[in-house]
Amino acid sequence: MELRTDASDGARLQAGGWDAFPVNKGALCQKGATSTELLDVASRLTSPLIRRTSGSELETATWDEALDFAASRISAIAAAHGREAVGIFGGGGLTHEKAYSLGKFARVVLRTPHIDYNGRFCMSAAAAASQRAFGVDRGLPFPLADVARTDVILLVGSNLADTMPPALRYFTAQRENGGRLIVVDPRRTRTAEQADLHLQPVPGTDAALAAGLLHVLIAEHLVDEEFVAARTSGFEEVRAEALRWWPERVEAVCGVPAGDVRAAARVFAGAENGMVLTARGTEQQADGADAVNAWINLALAAGKAGRPYCGYGAITGQGNGQGGREHGQKADQLPGYRKITDPAAREHVAGVWGVSPEALPGPGRPAMELLASCGADIRALLVAGSNPVVSAPDASFVASRLEALEFLAVCDVVLSETALLADVVFPVTQWAEETGTMTNLEGRVLLRRRAVTPPAGVRSDLDVLGGLAERLGVPGFLTSPAAVFAELARASAGGVADYSGLSHERLDAAAEGDGLHWPCPAPDHPGTPRLFLDSFGTPDGRARFVAVGHEPAVEEPCGEFPYRLTTGRVLAQYQSGAQTRRVRSLNAAEPGAYVQLHPDLAAAVGAAEGDPVRVTSRRGSAVAPARISELIRSDTVFMPFHWAGPGRANSVTRRTTDPVSGMPAFKTAAVRVEVER
Ligand SMILES: Nc1nc2c(c(=O)[nH]1)N[C@H]1C(S)=C(S)[C@@H](COP(=O)(O)OP(=O)(O)OC[C@H]3O[C@@H](n4cnc5c(=O)[nH]c(N)nc54)[C@H](O)[C@@H]3O)O[C@H]1N2
Ligand SMILES: Nc1nc2c(c(=O)[nH]1)N[C@H]1C(S)=C(S)[C@@H](COP(=O)(O)OP(=O)(O)OC[C@H]3O[C@@H](n4cnc5c(=O)[nH]c(N)nc54)[C@H](O)[C@@H]3O)O[C@H]1N2
Ligand SMILES: [Mo]
């Protein structure tokens, strides 16, 4: 986007599309267009806050007081209970410089293994699946614009008309070019409305549905045997498993008519080029990684990978959802998408950090486990860039864990529901107020330039870490974004996500801010827009079929909880709502939570439009007005998760996680639905 001051509006800062930028070509969604309101929102934090004794109110404090207080609490807890009693919870919306520094701060200053982040709730299942299949996880291994040039798209569990509106143009163009779109979603969303074929499965049954499509490919001799032989491994086991999923069986499990399963498989396999794209609907499941691999298996069997206008991609979520998972704020990871258990990686990164490899901790716990152990062996937590009191699964449980901590520090721009529980709140700079880099869904590394002076009283997350590091006995922690990036680039050298040819200077000079696609291993390397054309990122260069189970891993409805809840997003709100609930026009467009339910289900429970409806699971309940709609399955209700209070969807969701990736099962829970009288 481009920021301009508008003279006709008292020189207010306005966000506008940037026509020359090759990804959004000038398009912005409602949230982008109104984002400058957040810079001077009345509830902006401009002073640190301290809760001096437990049970007292948050009071304003100076920066020195707040940093001294936090450092002394952290030191005391580490001294009494060990370094591993301190943890960090980061965010995929943070810049590279911040995410990388959080990882380094955990390992070098706190010397704790315990760091993870909200990306575990977002991209982890697709990331794990891509690594298993391709040896590399880069959201799209091709530029987004390639979408417009493929013949068929299988779009699974994505409502991108609401969640990524500027990307929709490429899907529209694809169909104008004669291509076909198949959408898999239990709801007939604005995205599904555009599809040539819409499959509407029971939530949580995607792996079986994907196996059913593969079954049809095998039964009707539509498998690209040449591609399978030349470029993949592991098909035999997957073939044997898929044979057990004939379309009528799939219909019984997934609720998708057998004829539609056959039709979708034929359309997908019959096209010359094709893509499978997934998002959170299929990924935020107790079998999320397996479900994604089941879809990837289908793409591989159809020969739709490893050549232009073909492939599998995950549609990334947060602003730095891709980059936030590459440089070490994940429990098991070091910069450059390296494994923290790999001795060579430890040695390289320890060298860059000036510590011995033995001093680096091992892997920590994935996000849900980290949050669940707060108040037990984790006694102090620093949160930056997330609001888990609203967005974590089984949120009442998570809030109780945060309350049980001896010390909670939160860096935020506003007093989020999580910051309200903190002992120290650090008011930090946000996007337009600081320079930093991010990597978009195509692996394109972008420089976001500082455009405005931050309000007096706030400092960058980098300054918070620097101030704490100094007080914890590690002076000289880098706080300048360009210097941090230069170090990140060196730390990433030789890794999967190799940024060593990049610098702020080079990104600043890139034509019209186009950015450069990783890997970019040398200052004169042009970047890598398309991966896998010659070989995949696995040791033998072949893409791997992954044999996965297909028994749905849902919490099955029963007499007491007869329906299914699935959750997701609306166009005008973002995530935990900490930001968008503070923007007037967005709040006017979507003022509160609701429960979407089919007329048949509404009739069964006696709900009329607008009635307050209580949705209850084994964890707890949420209440919100009924929105009756034929666009959803009659056995499923949907709630968006953007609100705190009685309408908080995550009071109902479950904290069961996918054993492969640590992704929580946000998208299926067994519930009871009642009108609140
Ligand atoms: N407006 C808006 N845009 C956003 C965000 C936001 O909060 N608001 N957040 C950003 C972030 S971080 C993310 S991760 C992305 C998420 O982007 P999306 O993944 O597009 O968003 P969701 O609404 O979470 O889920 C997509 C769809 O999954 C469907 N679904 C539910 N259960 C299942 C299932 O079992 N199988 C299948 N196949 N589909 C299912 C839901 O009905 C929903 O329509 O959006 C990004 N963009
Ligand atoms: N039921 C249900 N729950 C879900 C999901 C779902 O589909 N269903 N989706 C999940 C997904 S995909 C995601 S990504 C998570 C997201 O949920 P959260 O992690 O809660 O994401 P945000 O609401 O974006 O929180 C970001 C916080 O950081 C603050 N912030 C903004 N910029 C900065 C900065 O530069 N520095 C710092 N320190 N803070 C900053 C914002 O004000 C905000 O409070 O929710 C997950 N929860
Ligand atoms: Mo996300």
pLDDT in tens, 293-336: 999 999 999 999 999 999 999 999 999 999 999 999 999 999 99
DSSP 309: T
> Which atom of ligand 1 approaches the CA of 571 most closely?
1
What local confidence, expressed as pLDDT, does residue 311 receive? 98
> Which atom of ligand 1 approaches the CA of 569 most closely?
23
Which ligand minimizes its atom distance to the CA of 102? 2
26: left (phi over 0), alpha (psi -120 to 50) or beta: left
For residue 102, name the pLDDT band (cuts at 50, 70, 90): very high
What local confidence, expressed as pLDDT, does residue 522 receive? 98
For residue 402, name the pLDDT band (cuts at 50, 70, 90): very high
Question: CA 648 → CA 337, 593, 616, distances in Å?
Answer: 34, 7, 12
User: What is the sign, positive or negative, of the torsion defined by CA atoms of 225, 226, 231, 233?
Assistant: positive
What local confidence, expressed as pLDDT, does residue 334 receive? 98
Model pLDDT for residues 414-447, shown as the tens digit of each residue: 999 999 999 999 999 999 999 999 999 999 999 9
Share of the chain above pLDDT 70, in %: 99
**Torsion angle defined by CA atoms of residues 627, 628, 631 and 632, in that order, rounded to the nearest 10 degrees:** 90
In angstroms, rounded to a whole number, what is the distance separating the alpha carbons of residues 267 and 27? 31
Q: How far is the CA of 430 from the centre of ligand 1 (A)?
A: 25
Instruction: Report residue 566 as tokens.
Output: 């699935």
CA angle 415–91–345, rounded 5-degree value: 150
Which ligand minimizes its atom distance to the CA of 394? 2
Cβ(381)–Cβ(403) below 8 Å: no
Model pLDDT for residues 53-80, shown as the tens digit of each residue: 988 999 999 999 999 999 999 999 999 9
What local confidence, expressed as pLDDT, does residue 550 receive? 82
Cβ(595)–Cβ(673) below 8 Å: yes
Residue with structure tokens 């076909």? 180
What local confidence, expressed as pLDDT, does residue 553 receive? 67
Which H/E stretch holds residue 426? strand 424-427
Q: Report the 10 Å Cβ neighbour count for 492.
A: 32
Cβ(268)–Cβ(184) below 8 Å: no
Cβ(443)–Cβ(138) below 8 Å: yes
Which ligand minimizes its atom distance to the CA of 276? 1
**Torsion angle defined by CA atoms of residues 287, 288, 294 and 297, in that order, rounded to the nearest 10 degrees:** -140
> Which atom of ligand 2 approaches the CA of 419 most closely?
44
What local confidence, expressed as pLDDT, does residue 503 receive? 97
Q: Which residues line ligand 2 (CB under 6 A)?
A: 91-94, 118, 121-122, 280, 284, 317-318, 384-388, 390-391, 411-414, 416, 428, 430, 461, 567-568, 575-576, 578-579, 641, 649-650, 653, 666
pLDDT at 12 > cutoff 90: no
Rounded to 5 degrees, what are φ and ψ at 455? Answer: -60, 150
β-bridge partners, 153: 181, 275
What local confidence, expressed as pLDDT, does residue 308 receive? 97
Which ligand minimizes its atom distance to the CA of 193? 1
Residues in contact with 107: Cβ distance below 8 Å, sequence separation at least 6, in sequence order: 113, 115, 328, 353, 360, 361
> Which atom of ligand 1 approaches the CA of 642 most closely?
7
- The string of DSSP codes covering 126-175 is HHHHHHHHHS---S-SS-GGGGGG-SEEEEES--HHHH-GGGHHHHHHHH
What local confidence, expressed as pLDDT, does residue 109 receive? 98
Q: How far is the CA of 559 from the centre of ligand 3 (A)?
A: 33
For atom 40 of ligand 1, the residue with the nearest CA is: 281
Cβ(199)–Cβ(256) below 8 Å: yes
Q: How far is the CA of 164 from the centre of ligand 1 (A)?
A: 10
Q: How far is the CA of 623 from the centre of ligand 1 (A)?
A: 21
Q: How far is the CA of 385 from the centre of ligand 3 (A)?
A: 12
Q: How far is the CA of 67 from the centre of ligand 1 (A)?
A: 38
Q: How far is the CA of 386 from the centre of ligand 2 (A)?
A: 4
Q: How far is the CA of 633 from the centre of ligand 3 (A)?
A: 24
In angstroms, rounded to a whole number, what is the distance separating the alpha carbons of residues 516 and 29? 24
CA angle 438–440–443, rounded 5-degree value: 100
Helix/strand/coil (H/E/C) assignment for every residue in 454-518: CCCCCECHHHHHHHHHHHCCCCCCCCCHHHHHHHHHHHHCCCCCCCCCCCHHHHHHCHHHCCEEC
Q: How far is the CA of 545 from the centre of ligand 1 (A)?
A: 26
> Which atom of ligand 1 approaches the CA of 187 most closely?
42
The domain 563-675 is placed in CATH, from the list 3.40.50.12780, 1.10.540.10, 3.40.50.1390, 2.40.40.20, at 2.40.40.20
Q: What is the mean pLDDT of residues 587-613?
A: 98
pLDDT at 511 > cutoff 90: no
For residue 638, name the pLDDT band (cuts at 50, 70, 90): very high
Could you tell me which of 51, 575, 114, 31 has the C-alpha nearest to residue 383?
114
Quote the mean pLDDT of the chain.
96
What local confidence, expressed as pLDDT, does residue 10 receive? 73
Q: How far is the CA of 266 from the centre of ligand 3 (A)?
A: 32
Q: What is the mean pLDDT of residues 407-412?
A: 98
Could you tell me which of 367, 403, 373 has the C-alpha nearest to residue 385?
367
Residue with structure tokens 């680096």? 360
Rg (alpha carbons) of the chain, rounded to whole number: 24
What local confidence, expressed as pLDDT, does residue 163 receive? 97
Q: What is the mean pLDDT of residues 514-534?
A: 96
According to CATH, the topology of domain 51-121+322-434+443-500 is Rossmann fold (3.40.50)
Cis omega (within 30 of 0) for bond into 519: yes
* Identity of residue 388: P
What local confidence, expressed as pLDDT, does residue 445 receive? 97
- Helix then strand count (H, E) for the chain reads 22, 27
Model pLDDT for residues 114-148, shown as the tens digit of each residue: 999 999 999 999 999 999 999 999 999 999 999 99
Instruction: Report residue 528 as tokens.
Output: 């890598």
pLDDT at 645 > cutoff 70: yes
Q: Which residues line ligand 1 (CB under 6 A)?
A: 122, 156-160, 162-164, 184-187, 189, 201, 203-204, 206, 279-282, 317-318, 566, 568-569, 571, 573-575, 638, 667
Q: How far is the CA of 435 from the centre of ligand 1 (A)?
A: 29
For atom 8 of ligand 1, the residue with the nearest CA is: 574
Q: For 504-516, b where at least 16 C-beta lie within 10 A, e where not — what string?
A: bebbeebeebebb
DSSP 393: S
For ion ligand 3, residues whose CB falls within 5 Å: 122, 317
Architecture of domain 124-315: 3-Layer(aba) Sandwich (3.40)
Model pLDDT for residues 185-221, shown as the tens digit of each residue: 999 999 999 999 999 999 999 999 999 999 999 999 9
For residue 5, name the pLDDT band (cuts at 50, 70, 90): confident
In angstroms, rounded to a whole number, what is the distance separating the alpha carbons of residues 333 and 349? 11
* Identity of residue 347: E
Helix (H, G, I), strand (E, B) or coil at 383: strand
β-bridge partners, 544: 233
**Ligand 1, from 162, 280, 671: best to mutate by most atoms within 8 Å of Cβ?**
280
Which H/E stretch holds residue 298? helix 288-301
What local confidence, expressed as pLDDT, does residue 513 receive? 67
**Strands 444-448 and 436-439, bridge-based pairing:** antiparallel
Domains of the chain by residue range: 2-33, 51-121+322-434+443-500, 124-315, 563-675
